[in-house]
Amino acid sequence: MRDGGRVSAAIEVLTEIEARHFPVKMALKRWGETARYAGSKDRAFVSGLVLDGLRRKRSLGWMMADSTARGVMLGVLAFVWKWPLERIAEAAAEEHGFGALTDVERERLAAPVPIEGAPAPVAGDYPDWLEPHLARALGADQAAEMRALSERAPVDLRVNTLKTDVERCAKALALIDAAPAGVLATAFRIPAPAAADRTPSVEAVPAFSKGWFEVQDLGSQIAAAVAGDVKGKQVLDFCAGGGGKTLALAAAMGNSGQIFAHDSDARRLADTIRRGQRAGVRNLQIRSPIEATPLKGLEGKIDVVFVDAPCTGAGTWRRHPDAKWRLSPDQLAKRQIEQDSVLEDAAAFVKAGGRMIYVTCSLLTEENEDRVAAFLERHPEFTVKPIALDGVTHVTPEGYLRLTPHRAGTDGFFAAVLQRASYTP
């Protein structure tokens, strides 16, 4: 495909997302099924263009004075991908292009509307209704954080110490330009790709098939490390999902003790079983909700209960930019109810003197500090244990972990350690 056809396809996909509220993966898949002629580079181009458009659609629409899919795509090409006007005009006029540029479009591409005069939600690329929530959570750093949330994200990897050591794995990861990410010795990073490019296929590296490393955002890795010393412990991953943090916890345990993986959706646990086998985990028990009482017998016996709670995902918008446009006030309210319920249920399994780790990949205070405060009010037998991790400085005065793209260079994450009293007064 030539540039014009690729841009036309991106405009088509973004239009469908806007009109039908499809997740971006579904919209790209639907386009791919009808575009059998498109090669891997074509698909990477279209995907990258659409995702960059979703990341910055309000600010680009403002700059172009045109918030249609066409206007946003032109904005991506000019102001994100840095195409010169001549290249954009040439692509537009191609046989399968998206139509010749108008005089107004040429004017805006050459002299965009200054973004400095835009309202905060437009300049920061998020829905208007989120303004008070983000202002509360981010304070003076709000503008910088929202710009960071509109950038492409790197690919982070975690060395699996159950199968290899850091030095040995580092040599294998050098093949895909992965370098130490900092903070954690086992964390490596591949920089975010340039416009229209793809990151290297990590699954094609032989070391991946051997289980030497996993794909996992650095923020997620740090959140798992918040669990502290887990060797020889009884650990319950209460919302295990696909198992990313389960595997990180298992590696920290060194196949000692016992780790139980549970989730309310049995389908999500299928990946945990497969990934656990590849990673060489031998102390894992899957507790599926298909069973009548999957967690029977664990009440009050677990040293560490890890709660990766369901949330809005407001910290992951770099990777999932379509999610911020689908989020609604009702969904935020629903997530808070779910979070309170999950905390309530998980607390029953924490032994006296044990700890519960509450984690979200959200930036919003309503899903984080507020939920912890509400839980502590209901459960005075729990107290906050301030987080202390070597190399981690992003700890709030209350002792919570708060990671953000601008401050920490990671996805947005929150974590709290809640310690249960050794005895009941």
**234 bridge partner residues:** 258
Q: Which of 169, 239, 311, 361 is catalytic?
A: 361
Q: Measured between alpha carbons, how far is 253 from 234 in angstroms, rounded to an integer? A: 10
State residue 424's pLDDT score: 60
Domains annotated for the chain, with CATH where assigned, are 3-111 (no CATH), 155-215 (3.30.70.1170), 218-420 (3.40.50.150)
Residues 275 and 245: beta-carbon distance below 8 Å:
no
H/E element, 158:
strand 155-159
What's the average pLDDT block by block, 10 residues per block, for the chain (425 residues)? 93 93 90 85 92 97 97 97 96 93 97 96 98 97 96 96 97 94 95 81 92 96 96 97 94 97 92 93 95 94 98 96 96 98 98 98 98 98 95 93 96 98 75
Q: Measured between alpha carbons, how far is 25 from 150 in angstroms, rounded to an integer? A: 18
Owner of token pair 């690729």? 6
Number of C-beta neighbours around residue 359 at 10 A: 24
State residue 329's pLDDT score: 98
Residue 381 contacts by C-beta under 8 Å, 6 or more apart in sequence? Answer: 420, 421, 424, 425
User: What tokens were used for 400?
Assistant: 């919570």
**260 bridge partner residues:** 236, 285
Side-chain half-sphere of 114: how many Cα atoms within 13 Å?
Answer: 2
Nearest CA among 230, 216, 356 for reference residue 279: 216
**Angle subtended at Cα 174 by Cα 171 and Cα 175, rounded to the nearest 5 degrees:** 110
State residue 98's pLDDT score: 94
**Angle subtended at Cα 302 by Cα 296 and Cα 303, rounded to the nearest 5 degrees:** 175
State residue 308's pLDDT score: 97
pTM, full prediction = 0.95
Binding residues for S-adenosyl-L-methionine: 263, 308
Distances in Å between the Cα of 285 and the Cα atoms of 99, 212, 345, 359 are 58, 21, 19, 21
Phi, psi for 208 (deg, rounded to 5): -65, -45
State residue 243's pLDDT score: 92
Number of C-beta neighbours around residue 398 at 10 A: 13
**Angle subtended at Cα 412 by Cα 54 and Cα 49, rounded to the nearest 5 degrees:** 20
Name the DSSP letter for residue 323.
H
**Angle subtended at Cα 119 by Cα 320 and Cα 23, rounded to the nearest 5 degrees:** 20
Q: Provide the edge-to-edge strand list for the sheet that holds 187-190.
A: 179-180, 187-190, 155-159, 213-215
State residue 220's pLDDT score: 96
Residues 196 and 45: beta-carbon distance below 8 Å:
yes
Q: Measured between alpha carbons, how far is 291 from 289 in angstroms, rounded to an integer? A: 5
Nearest CA among 425, 415, 306 for reference residue 355: 306
Give the sign of the dihedral formed by CA 358, CA 369, CA 340, CA 272: negative
State residue 248's pLDDT score: 97
Residue 287 contacts by C-beta under 8 Å, 6 or more apart in sequence? Answer: 260, 261, 262, 294, 295, 298
User: What tokens were used for 221?
Assistant: 């890795």
Please indicate whether residue 239 is annotated as part of the active site. no
Based on C-alpha coordinates, what's the Rg of the chain?
23
H/E element, 126:
none
**End-to-end Cα distance, the chain:** 71
Number of C-beta neighbours around residue 310 at 10 A: 19
Q: Measured between alpha carbons, how far is 78 from 91 in angstroms, rounded to an integer? A: 12
Pairing of strands 302-308, 234-237: parallel
